[in-house]
Structure 1
Amino acid sequence: MLGRPRKFDENGAREVAMQLFWAKGYEATSLSNLLAAMGISKSSFYQTFESKHTLFEQCLNQYRDILVSTMSEGLANAPTPMMFIKHALVDVANDTNDPLGRRGCLMMNTASEFSQRDSNIARCVEAGIQATKDIFLQAVKAAQADGDISSNTRADILADYLVTVVSGLKSQVKAGASRKQIINTAEFSVRTLQEMA
């Protein structure tokens, strides 16, 4: 026998949940918070998402997919790979003007909240970080081919460096750093990358 048809936008509800988890963290987001924000009943929640934990995993994967799509589009549309790298760092400063931007990075927030105590969540976080690194790796290799970055340092090491810098910048924004502080650090990091022998 078929169940009752779902009368809500599942993707839209998941987006709302992602924003709530991003703002509050996993533990601080209660089921009642989720139900109120998503506008669904408890039975619809469990029928569709199974559990808060399963929904959170889905939200992490959705966040990763959005991040990858945004970065891939940015790399494809940038005048040069080096400009993409610069903007990826400097544009973090825009988060200082947006209360939502002050939330930091959902992946890194989750890594801090969970550490390694949940293997499924750890895999989601690892996949998100790896996806970001893969795009930076493409950009670094292309910038090295253009002669904008030295080829003396392995591209994968530089990609790891960029992931670390961006994560650090977003953490600084979350901690209350000013726009000027973020721009100064981002520009210094770009110069360091270009000056590596």
Structure 2
Amino acid sequence: MPAGRPRQFDPSVALNQAMELFWARGYEATSLQDLLGATGLSRSSLYQTFGGKHDLFAQCLETYRDMVVANMWQRLEQAPSGRAFIEDSLRRTLAEQTAPGGPRGCLVLNTANEFGHRDPLVTERVRAGVDSFRDVFAEAVRRGQADGSIRSPRDPRRLAAYIVAGMGGLRTLVKADENRDYVQDACDVLLLALDRD
């Protein structure tokens, strides 16, 4: 692109369009041509702006994490108790079973399943996402312990790690189209941890 020539697109819009595509299909199943079609970018614009498919994907993971975590903090601030926030988060996971287009799961956790530890940059982004989720749930546990809605005296970060791991399992069951009652039972067992010593 010649110096001084303004871009003909909004990079943040293109980034969100790419994120939606990766979220729906995963990294390997999304081709460069798919990304060009979804964003309306030329190949040269995509590479000049985002550095290629891999770098674009890493940026999408950051964008997704920031979006989800901001929403989580907002919901926590509005929740009547720490426990209510956690229960609402689990219910939202169950509701994905009937989402239009089917359940997409969580882009961060989907990526962990797709990549494992084979890509250092992606692994770092996944770890940062999981850490951010755990931070919100740890604060929810602290608030729940303070307001009496959570009776377990366990360390909030340990309980939060359990909740994040459990939600990952619930999302997998939902994506596998497991029986709703079975998934609800698993959710109920997760919540029992909030009341145990």
Q: Higher RCO, 1 or 2 (CA under 8 Å, sep at least 6)?
A: 1
Q: Are residues 1:113 and 2:127 paired?
A: no
Q: Specify the alignment match of 2:195 in structure 1.
A: 195
Cα distance in 1 for partners of 2:69, 2:5 equals 35
> How far 1:109 sits from its partner (Å)?
1.1
- Which amino acid is the alignment partner of residue 97 of structure 2? T
Cα distance in 2 for partners of 1:173, 1:3 equals 49
CA contact (8 A) 2:142 2:156 kept: yes
Cα distance in 1 for partners of 2:125, 2:106 equals 14
Q: Specify the alignment match of 1:22 in structure 2.
A: 23
Gaps of 5+ in 1: none
- Which amino acid is the alignment partner of residue 193 of structure 1? A
The answer to which of 128-137 and 5-14 deviates more is 5-14
Alpha-carbon displacement from aligned partner over 1:132-171 (angstroms, at most 9, x marks no partner): 0000000001111122223532111100011011111111
Q: CA RMSD in A?
A: 1.5
- Which amino acid is the alignment partner of residue 194 of structure 1? L
**Residue correspondence of structure 1 range 7-86 to structure 2 within 5 A:** 7-86=8-87
Cα distance in 1 for partners of 2:99, 2:152 equals 37
Cα distance in 2 for partners of 1:35, 1:194 equals 46
The answer to which of 66-75 and 20-29 deviates more is 20-29
Q: Specify the alignment match of 1:146 in structure 2.
A: 147
**Residue correspondence of structure 1 range 101-180 to structure 2 within 5 A:** 102-180=103-181
Q: TM-score, normalised by structure 2?
A: 0.93
Percent of pairs with identical residues: 43
> How far 1:3 sits from its partner (Å)?
4.7
How many residues were matched structurally? 196
Partner of 1:5: helix, strand, or coil? coil
Partner of 2:103: helix, strand, or coil? helix
Partner of 2:149: helix, strand, or coil? coil
Cα distance in 2 for partners of 1:148, 1:79 equals 10
CA contact (8 A) 1:89 1:186 kept: yes
> How far 1:178 sits from its partner (Å)?
3.9
Cα distance in 2 for partners of 1:115, 1:148 equals 36
Cα distance in 2 for partners of 1:95, 1:125 equals 21
CA 171–44 in structure 1, closer or farther in 2 if over 3 Å, else same:
same
